[in-house]
Structure 1
Amino acid sequence: MGCYSGMSEPFWKTKTLDQMNRQEWESLCDGCGKCCLLKLEDEDTGEIAYTRLHCRLFDSGTCQCADYENRKKIVEDCVILTPQKVEEIRWMPKTCAYRLIHEGKDLPSWHYLVCGDRERIHEEGHSIRGRTVSEDTVFEEDTEDWIVDWEGNEP
């Protein structure tokens, strides 16, 4: 799927998430990988903290799931995103295309559907490619040591 260059509006501007077919839905994913990060929720405040730890199925080189079709069978708490869940999930990254479309916003200039380049997101630092380690390499009690602000600031 290349960049949008037609005369009519692109599908993400004319359809709701519910109206998209599977191909359109899947094409919205920009490949940032942030949904595959371990996230911690503060029990007192409900605040969500991202970590530099990724799911054991995540391939940090390709920034994709190593077994996308079977991910829920292998990782029981993997969240399968649906249009309904986009509204419910508070930890969706601010730059996530699904979240942006749900909020009535446009895709960023670096999204491949806009620019036609799947590498742009990585080149501009909007993905986690090469910046994380697998959850399997860290003891569970050390997870908090891996908290990071993905906007570029250490917590």
Structure 2
Amino acid sequence: MTDGTQSRAGARFWEALSLEAMDTRQWEALCDGCGRCCLHKLQDEDTDEIYYTDVACRLLDGHSCRCGDYDHRAHEVPDCVSLTAREVKQIPWLPRTCAYRLLAEGQPLPQWHPLITGDPDSVHAAGISVRGRIVDEEAMTGDWEDHIVDWPA
């Protein structure tokens, strides 16, 4: 590997490796920083349909769209999901734009993805991130249903 994005054969690591074969640095680099996975979701008991809300985990930094305590998130938020290659294929609520989901489905990364553009802000410029659109869970008012949104799906 050179800078971690290309293998010796010239293929970018996410094109050359399976999710299971990636090291920790490569795995973490796949996250585009959209923050959508940190939104609270509701699931219909009858249909299993998943609804995203604009309510974010208390640890999500609303500007960077990254976890404010990533290393300790599972301790701070016990129901926080730490993604693994196996779990990605089983989690129905990952956004359609999620790199983990896309690669697990054999799809390419979108052109706005920071690994493609080299710019960590490209996810925000493309309007994919939750920046400027969320309510912190500790400041939420009203019923959960009042916070359902359609933009992350």
Shift, 1:120, TM fit: 1.2
Distance 1:89 1:136 in 2: 25
Which runs of structure 1 show a deviation greater than 6 angstroms over 4 or more consecutive aligned residues?
1-4
Contact preservation (8 Å) 2:65, 2:130: yes
Unmatched 5+ stretches in structure 2: none
- The within-5 A match list for 1:4-153 is 8-139=10-141, 142-150=143-151
CA distance in structure 2 between the aligned counterparts of 1:22 and 1:130, rounded to whole angstroms:
29
Aligned 8 A contact 1:39 1:50 in 2:
yes
1 CA distance for matches of 2:140 and 2:132? Answer: 17
Give the Cα–Cα distance (whole angstroms) in 2 for the partners of residues 128 and 53 of structure 1.
Answer: 10
- Tell whether the 8 Å contact from 2:56 to 2:137 is kept in structure 1 after alignment: yes
Q: How much does 1:7 deviate?
A: 6.5
Shift of 1:136: 1.0
Identity of aligned residues (%): 50
Partner amino acid, structure 2, of 1:80: S
d(CA) in 2 for partners of 1:78 and 1:111? Answer: 24
Deviation digits for residues 63-116 of structure 1 (CA, Å, limit 9, x no counterpart): 111100000001010001110110110000000000011111110000011111
Deviation per residue, 1:128-155 (Å, 9 max, x gap):
012101111125x611100000158xxx
Give the number of equivalent residue pairs.
151
Alignment TM-score, normalising by the size of structure 1: 0.91
Instruction: Please give the alpha-carbon distance, in whole angstroms, between the structure 1 residues aligned to 2:37 and 2:50.
Output: 13
How far apart, CA to CA, are the structure 2 residues paired with 1:44 and 1:137? Answer: 29
> Secondary structure of the equivalent of 2:89?
helix
**RMSD across aligned positions (CA):** 2.0
Contact kept, 8 Å, 1:34 with 1:128, in 2: the verdict is yes
Contact kept? 1:2, 1:113, Cα under 8 Å: no
Residue type matched to 2:77 in 1? V
